[in-house]
Amino acid sequence: MTDPRPEAQVVLRLENITKRFGKLTANGAISFDLRQGEVIALLGENGAGKTTLMNILFGHYTPDEGHVEVFGMRLPAGNPRAALAAGVGMVHQHFTLADNMTVLENIVLGTRSIWRLGFGRAQARQRIVTLMEDYGLRVDPDAQVGSLSVGERQRVEILKALFREARILILDEPTAVLTPQETDDLFATMRKAVALGLSVIFISHKLHEVMAISSRVVVLRHGKLVAEAKTSETDRAAMAQMMVGSEVAAPVVRRADPGAALVTLAGVSSPDIGSAPGLKNVDLELRAGQITGLAGVSGNGQTALADLIGGLIRPASGTFHVKGDAPRGWSPHAAISAGIARIPEDRHKTGTIADFDLTENAVLELYSRPGFSRHGWMNWRAARDFAAKIIRGYDVRCPGPETRIRLLSGGNMQKLILGRVLETAPSVVLANQPVRGLDIGALTYVHEQLLAARDRGAAVLLISEDLDEVTALSDVIHVISEGRLSPGFARGAMTPAELGVWMAGDGFEEAPHAA
Amino acid sequence: MRLEPIANPTWTRSLGLPAVALFATVVVASLLAMIAGAQPFSVLGLIVKGAFGSKFATLETLNRATPLIFTGLAVAVAFRAKLWNIGAEAQLYMGAVFTVVLGTGALAWPAFALLPTIAVAAMLAGAVVLLVPTFLKTRFSVDEVVTTLLLNFVVLLWVSMLLEGSLKDPMGLGWPKSARLIAEARLPRIAEGLRLHWGFGLALISALVVWVIQRRSTLGYEMRAVGLNPAAARFAGIPVNATLIKTALLSGGLAALAGFSEVAGLKGNLTLDISPGFGYTGIIVAMLALLNPLGVVVAALFVAGIFVGADSMSRAAGVPTYLADIMLALALLAMVLAIMLTKFRVRRD
């Protein structure tokens, strides 16, 4: 990126923004300016305060101190409508689109008075088509949003903001759901937007993307602005260090000799889950002493595969074997009994019970085992000892086993889940998005534990949206796309770009005579 | 204005707010009494005196609290697992019906065998009534609020039919009431000459048992897990549907014991007005007790005290008795608000 001229107009000014939640200071006196025609990368680990800051900027939260100025005008606090009217457009990580309406209707939705009959469809279409050409955002205006891919939906969200005449775009982790190719397209759009005089705040923790697209970097750590630099004057290592405050080492991975296949799927299909596809004729082997990585854009059947191995669903067709047996009455309980450790995708909604304390959460899967209960009566002393053992052994930072788990950070929650499932010496580990939302310290810890489990001889399945994570850890990589599974690729056999082709769904041969 | 969740409410907040709620109830009720023409704060004194002022009054209050403890426990147990049982009234009547069916001479057993048999049969009957909506919920996702509520009317009409038909007392001069229980089927009084029957003792024991189940048993753990987060419970391998069914058995059984205790302890026969809405008042009791089984006992005494005290207060002060209903409604609203304010803080923008 070319640096904007220093005299370029300041379009957005954050002045001394402070926001506290109880004892936690989510944002402490943060100030920075965004100038016209520049891309600021807002960098920070999860929990560093990026999302809080953007929610204040967009009026979802009221700051305790400080204020926001847009084009020199002070925004009233806590008023998203005012932020919109001032020209701030936000594209959230989770899209806010109506699936049963067309692209055109979604874009226009909410911009027209409900008392008007019709909404000037032809006029709106004209504007949208112009916007698409100007910004290189290609999507069929008459397609139903429900039928679009994730990348296309994101384009609709951006078009929505542009249609509302946004001059400042905030993109919250936009690349998390994109293939490498789609990311390139997004960056092209961002460059066009900047050339047309817009300004962009780009939130990410992927450093190579930040290097590629931003003109300036703002780094948050523990709610404070710790560094601000021109992208051209810094590098990835320096940024990583600014984010975490210490040197970051990449995980060291040894080669391992794979053992027997512990979980085998042959020609397995499963029904779709809502709008997410089920499995389509999937062949997969999870071998002992090997990490099998599953790459793919989220919502392409990962949930179905995790649910199947985790015991939540049964295959509709095909054969499914665990340790050589075809399980009868497959259930979460059966999966746990078979020695499958399950790290769920959503640790808040399915992994833990927020209002249970650590002890109660630690024995969630094991309470019915002898030792934790007898004849229907809980042995709470044993449960507390077990929780204390996990807290010590897995470095769970908490006041004690009586703490409600909702008060723990994501990383400590994940460590408790890790401890809960790994303490039983499982032979299969199913890790679904195990480091999503974790800071680098917790992330490294989780990866070490997965590698240690593999070295002990467990078969590990690592499901992640982060291609870098999958390629760094996996001995074998499969790509999943629309419920179809690619063949296994050995470590290093494929470049990220080649995997990206599979992620986009292009490598798969259409099965002949498929029903 | 908006609500902000409080991560970790302080003790003063979680105990002080309910106390403030009760105090506010008393103040507002006193104002209403003043509007009705009474001395404002004398009304409260009269209620307390009417409820606990004499031995007779106290025993009357304990008798009145007995069915409320059972229905309060039934609701508290079910609500803890987020099984919305609004049908305690129907389950109470089922318990009453089976007490009459077995207790009017069908089984000529001695009391020590007959009473437990009747109690168990009554509990099973009540449980079955709740099992149907629970099965519809677990199997077909039918909303149990609607089914349990509507079953109240179905069961009440069925009891009405029985009292005009097969259960009608032949010696009853045509009134819709059942025959009286045989002596062996009556719950004895706790002490000679005391107008308080063992139903009250059974209610206290039930509260203790439920409390122990919730605190120490795997079922109690499962019930809380299912109530707080069914998705996580299912993922962890807790049998969610089986837990709901067990909860229904316990809840329906407890509500049925209210009917058993009223018929076998207090009344001696079954009439259509055996419950002036104990099943519904049980919801208020459970909510006031914050679903705590031991709290249910306290809340039931509070509610029963207001009802009993309001009768004598109304005679003494010339204020309508339905001031008692208003007080209860106020107490419930204030308590619900207090519970919410222990979890959320109101923020002004």
How far away is chain A from the Cα of B146, in angstroms, using its nearest Cα? 27
Task: At B204, list the tokens.
Answer: 């206290």
Task: Give A80-139 as a DSSP string.
Answer: HHHHHHTTEEEE-SS----TTSBHHHHHHTTSS-TTSSS--HHHHHHHHHHHHHHHT---
Sign of CA dihedral A373, A379, A382, A388: positive
Chain B residues whose CB is inside 8 A of the A359 CB are none
Taking CB atoms and an 8 Å limit, are A406 and B7 in contact across chains? yes
Contact B326, B43 (CB under 8 A): no
Q: How many domains does chain B have?
A: 1
d(CA A312, CA A330): 8
Is the minimum CB–CB distance between A78 and chain B shorter than 8 Å? Answer: yes
Q: How many CB atoms lie within 10 A of CB A8?
A: 14
The predicted pLDDT at position B179 comes to 87
Buried b (16+ CB within 10 A) or exposed e, A69-82: bbeeeebebbbeeb
The SS3 assignment for A168 reads: strand
d(CA A278, CA A316): 10
Can you give the length of chain A in residues? 515
> Testing the interface with B: which of A67, A367, A413 to mutate, by most B Cβ within 10 A?
A367
The predicted pLDDT at position B124 comes to 97
Taking CB atoms and an 8 Å limit, are B217 and A350 in contact across chains? no
> Testing the interface with B: which of A20, A23, A345, A377 to mutate, by most B Cβ within 10 A?
A377
d(CA B283, CA B263): 21
Taking CB atoms and an 8 Å limit, are A311 and B237 in contact across chains? yes
**Checking DSSP bridges between strand A261-269 and strand A317-322, what pairing results, if any?**
antiparallel
Taking CB atoms and an 8 Å limit, are A380 and B224 in contact across chains? no
The predicted pLDDT at position A275 comes to 67
d(CA A36, CA A185): 22
Q: CA of A351: which chain B residue's CA is closest?
A: B232
User: Does residue B36 lie within any of the structural domains?
Assistant: no
The predicted pLDDT at position A277 comes to 84
Q: Residue A507 forms beta bridges with which residues?
A: none
Taking CB atoms and an 8 Å limit, are B235 and A356 in contact across chains? no
Share of residues in chain A with pLDDT > 90 (%):
36
The predicted pLDDT at position A514 comes to 37
Contact B152, B258 (CB under 8 A): no
Taking CB atoms and an 8 Å limit, are A365 and B219 in contact across chains? no
Of A349, A354, A378, the CB nearest to B217: A378
Of A77, A333, A353, the CB nearest to B228: A353
Region A38-49 average pLDDT: 82
- Domains, chain A, ordered by start: 10-244 (3.40.50.300), 261-339+426-503 (3.40.50.300)
- The backbone torsions φ and ψ at residue A109, rounded to the nearest 5 degrees and listed phi first, read -50, 125
The predicted pLDDT at position A80 comes to 82
Q: How many CB pairs (< 8 A) connect A and B?
A: 72
Sign of CA dihedral A355, A358, A362, A368: negative
Is residue A146 very low, low, confident or very high in pLDDT (cuts 50, 70, 90)?
Answer: confident
**Highest mean pLDDT: which of A10-24, A116-130, A137-151, A446-460?**
A446-460
Q: CA of B217: which chain A residue's CA is closest?
A: A377
Express each pLDDT in A215-265 by its tens digit. 999 988 878 888 888 888 888 777 777 776 654 455 556 666 788 999 999
Region A25-45 average pLDDT: 88
Query: Is the pLDDT assigned to residue A129 strictly greater than 50?
Result: yes
d(CA A132, CA A116): 26
Question: What angle is formed at CA B335 by the lines to CA B333 and CA B341, rounded to 5 degrees?
Answer: 105
Asked if ipTM goes beyond 0.90, one says no
Of A62, A78, A350, the CB nearest to B235: A350
Contact B195, A315 (CB under 8 A): no
Q: CA of A372: which chain B residue's CA is closest?
A: B218
User: Does residue B161 lie within any of the structural domains?
Assistant: yes
User: Does residue B318 lie within any of the structural domains?
Assistant: no
> Testing the interface with B: which of A378, A380, A398, A403 to mutate, by most B Cβ within 10 A?
A378
State the average pLDDT for chain A: 85
> Testing the interface with A: which of B215, B221, B238, B250 to mutate, by most A Cβ within 10 A?
B221
Region A480-491 average pLDDT: 90
Of A78, A352, A365, the CB nearest to B237: A365
- Identify residues of B whose CB sits under 8 angstroms from chain A CBs: 6-8, 216-221, 224-225, 228-229, 231-239, 347, 349
User: Does residue B37 lie within any of the structural domains?
Assistant: no
User: Does residue B239 lie within any of the structural domains?
Assistant: yes
Region A488-506 average pLDDT: 83
Is residue A513 very low, low, confident or very high in pLDDT (cuts 50, 70, 90)?
Answer: very low
Taking CB atoms and an 8 Å limit, are A378 and B218 in contact across chains? yes
The predicted pLDDT at position B149 comes to 96
**Highest mean pLDDT: which of A112-126, A227-241, A486-500?**
A486-500
Is the minimum CB–CB distance between A344 and chain B shorter than 8 Å? Answer: yes
Q: CA of A403: which chain B residue's CA is closest?
A: B8
> Which of A117-121, A276-280, B157-161 is predicted least confidently?
A117-121
Q: CA of B227: which chain A residue's CA is closest?
A: A353
Q: CA of B219: which chain A residue's CA is closest?
A: A376
How far away is chain A from the Cα of B78, in angstroms, using its nearest Cα? 18
* Sheet strands (E) in chain B: 2-5, 344-347
**Checking DSSP bridges between strand A459-463 and strand A428-432, what pairing results, if any?**
parallel
Buried b (16+ CB within 10 A) or exposed e, A393-421: ebebebeebebbbbbbbbbbbbbbbbbbb
d(CA B195, CA A357): 45
Express each pLDDT in A326-352 by its tens digit. 888 899 999 999 999 999 988 888 999
User: Does residue B222 lie within any of the structural domains?
Assistant: yes
Query: Is the pLDDT assigned to residue A510 strictly greater than 60?
Result: no
Express each pLDDT in A402-455 by its tens digit. 888 988 888 889 999 999 999 999 999 999 999 877 777 788 889 999 999 999
Q: CA of B347: which chain A residue's CA is closest?
A: A62
**Domain of residue B88, residue span:** 67-290
The predicted pLDDT at position A1 comes to 46
> Testing the interface with A: which of B216, B219, B235, B339 to mutate, by most A Cβ within 10 A?
B235
B-contacting residues of A 175-194, CB under 8 Å?
A: none
User: Does residue B162 lie within any of the structural domains?
Assistant: yes
Where chain B has pLDDT below 70, the residues are 1-2, 7-8, 348-349
**Highest mean pLDDT: which of A13-27, A76-90, B55-69, B179-193?**
B55-69
Chain B residues whose CB is inside 8 A of the A377 CB are 216-218
Q: How many CB atoms lie within 10 A of CB A349?
A: 14
Region A67-82 average pLDDT: 86
Taking CB atoms and an 8 Å limit, are B233 and A353 in contact across chains? yes
